[in-house]
Structure formats: structure tokens, C-alpha cells
Amino acid sequence: MPKVIVKPNKNVFLLYALLTALHIDRITALKLLVAHPLRNQTAAHFQSYANPDLDVTRISELPSKYFYVLTLNEAPNFSPKWEPPKDWTAESLEQFQKLAGDFLPYLEHFYNNTDFEAFYQGILPGYQAECDALQAIVDRANLPSILDAAWEEHFDFSMEIIPMPLEGKGSGVGPRVGNITYQIIGPPFTKRALYLIAHEASHPRARNVLAPIAEEIGKRKYLEDYARQRVSYKTNVYSWPGYFEEQFMDALQIASIEPALRGMHPEPFEKQLTVKKRLKWYAHWGKFYIRDFYAEIKQYKATHAQKNLVEVGLSILTRLEKKYKPMME
């Protein structure tokens, strides 16, 4: 099984520094008062940055930017190091190529018109030390085995974790480039980070598992509309398939992944919320159906009444239809 690597990534740090300088980073958007010291240092250092030709709205609405910077050679090179696969749809290929014209010039402008290189080299020793400390934690956790067991399938993905001090606390993204899954995670970089790493590493696994029923999920978009009337979640964060995927992942993590992670460490994790409080927390943050997902996945893991997780996905759709469709009439 491939080793899980924890290391800094200059291109990702550059992206986050740009977002921080433009005040469109997640910490600013969520009005988080507590941030990693390096985030505050970065914000202060680049506070005078300005680009008169910059369309800030365009950048803030590009969810693919985290993926895109990982397909480029390290700054200041910025040449492509990855070619989209031949089986990509024309629409996906067009969107990817559009990033080179719509986004890359802004990234290059920030790099070329600030002292980013000197700043990054200055903070790198401390940043590397945090990565090394998290590497030691990850090495003891056997994450690939835990994820394969929970998702009931072996995935030939290499895992590369990028601790990101400029990301929000407990927040992150999980892009996949080829056979490498990246987990870009915010602080704290302690044992608690294993939960966030597992979540972000579950995205490509969830997409593989749910792919056979993507059409069935798509047919139930009215469930998204119903949830949207009762909770708040941003369109640019979740599409209906993404909303389904997130709740499937969260429910599986509570039911299967987190107990396995706790079992891997002889020392206790930091204070844990009960399952009931965890579900309440997810529901509070917009995951309206999380208790239904959890009930189906927990029952499956206990009894294996269905054959596999694909069938569990279908049983969740059936449950949601029976429970909520009558309320819509």
C-alpha cells in the first residue's frame, strides 16, 4: 500500500495567499476570528497588493481553482504538468482549458508583483516542521486501510496531504489529479486532522461508489429544492449530487471511519461529541438529511442486509422519497 505523504505545496500556498490578499478566503467569508498565526502574518504582509484588472467575483466563483493549481509545475514555471484524460467530456475539457485564460493570469500577476517567493522561503522551515509533525501522526494511522475497509473497495490512489495554515479551521478540499488524491486541510494539525483528512480522501471514493446510481440521484433533485427551503447552503459549494455525496460521506465517517481511527491510537483523541450531537451539528450547518443517511448506513454496517454501498445509496433515496415527498404535496 502506498505511503501517505504530508508535505508543503508552493502552488497551493500561492493560491491561498492570493485569496487571503483579496479578502475572499474562507476565513474572511465565514468571519472566523481564530486563525493560524501564519494566516494572519500572510494577510498583513500582502495587504497592499492590488491588481486593477482583477475580477474578484470571477476568482471567488471558481471551485476548480484548487484542482487547477495542482496540475501546474511549481511557480514561477506555471507550465502544465498534467494533461486531461482522453475520456473527459468536451464540457469538462472546455472548463479546464478556460482556467488557463480566466485564472492563471491572476495567479501569475500576484507572484510577479509581490515578494511572494522571498516570503514563502522565509516561512517554509516552520511550515515544513508542522508538516513533519503531522506526517508522524499519519504514519501511525494506516489511513488507506481504514478508508478501503469503510468504502469496501480498494482504490489505487496515492494520498498527498497538504496542511494549509491559510485555510479555515477544520475546513478543506479534496481534489484528485490522475491517481493522486490531495487532501488540502486547515488547522489544527493534530490527531484531530485525521478526521478531516479522511473526509477529503473520501471524495474520490464516494464518486466511484455512487457513479452507478448517478442518474437515480439526479432524478430526485426535488429533494434538494425541499432541503433548500429549510436550510442554507451555497449553490457554488453543493450541487444536488454534491449535496448527496457530502451527506453519504459524513454518515459513513461517523458510522465506520471515525471508530476505526480512534481504535488505531492507544492514546485518546481530543474530546469527542456524541453521535447524536455530531448529527445535530451537521444538520445545523445545512445537511438536512444527515440523520436519514446515517440511519441507513449504520443499519447496513451492522447487518449487511444490502449487498453493497451502491444498494445503500438506493435505499437512502427510497427512504427520502417515502419520508419527504408526501410533505411536498
Query: What is the rounded average pLDDT of the residues 134-140?
Result: 92
- Indicate left, alpha or beta for 286 from its phi (over 0: left) and psi (-120 to 50: alpha): left
Q: Are 270 and 301 in contact (CB under 8 A)?
A: no
Cell numbers 504530508 correspond to 6
Q: Are strands 5-6 and 176-177 parallel, antiparallel or unpaired?
A: unpaired
| Residue 301 pLDDT greater than 70, yes or no | yes
| Residue 139 pLDDT greater than 80, yes or no | yes
Orientation of helix 240-252 relative to helix 309-328, angle to 10°: 120
Give the per-residue pLDDT at 19.
93
Give the per-residue pLDDT at 285.
82
pLDDT tens digits, 194-218: 989 999 899 989 999 999 999 999 9
Q: Are 293 and 247 in contact (CB under 8 A)?
A: yes
User: First-to-last CA distance in the chain?
Assistant: 51
pLDDT tens digits, 58-115: 787 787 899 999 999 999 999 999 988 888 888 888 888 888 888 999 999 999 999 9
Give the per-residue pLDDT at 268.
46
Give the per-residue pLDDT at 251.
96
For the chain, give the percent of residues with pLDDT over 70: 92
pLDDT tens digits, 11-43: 999 999 999 999 888 777 666 666 799 999 999
Query: Which of 75-79, 111-115, 164-168, 235-239 is predicted with the least confidence, judged by mean pLDDT?
Result: 235-239
Q: Are 147 and 65 in contact (CB under 8 A)?
A: no
Give the per-residue pLDDT at 321.
94
Give the per-residue pLDDT at 265.
56
Three-state SS sequence of 209-249: HHHHHHHHHHHCHHHHHHHHCCCCCCCCCCCHHHHHHHHHH
For the chain, give the percent of residues with pLDDT over 90: 57
- Using a 10 angstrom Cβ sphere, with 0-12 exposed, 13-18 middle and 19 or more buried, the burial of residue 40 is middle
| Residue 236 pLDDT greater than 60, yes or no | no
Query: Which of 47-51, 119-123, 208-212, 283-287 is predicted with the least confidence, judged by mean pLDDT?
Result: 283-287
Q: Are 137 and 193 in contact (CB under 8 A)?
A: yes
State the Cα–Cα distance between residues 39 and 167, nearest whole angstrom.
8
Give the per-residue pLDDT at 273.
67
- Which CA distances in Å does 178 have to 37, 184, 199? 33, 16, 19
Residue 244: which pLDDT band, with cuts at 50, 70 and 90? very high
Provide the whole-model pTM.
0.86
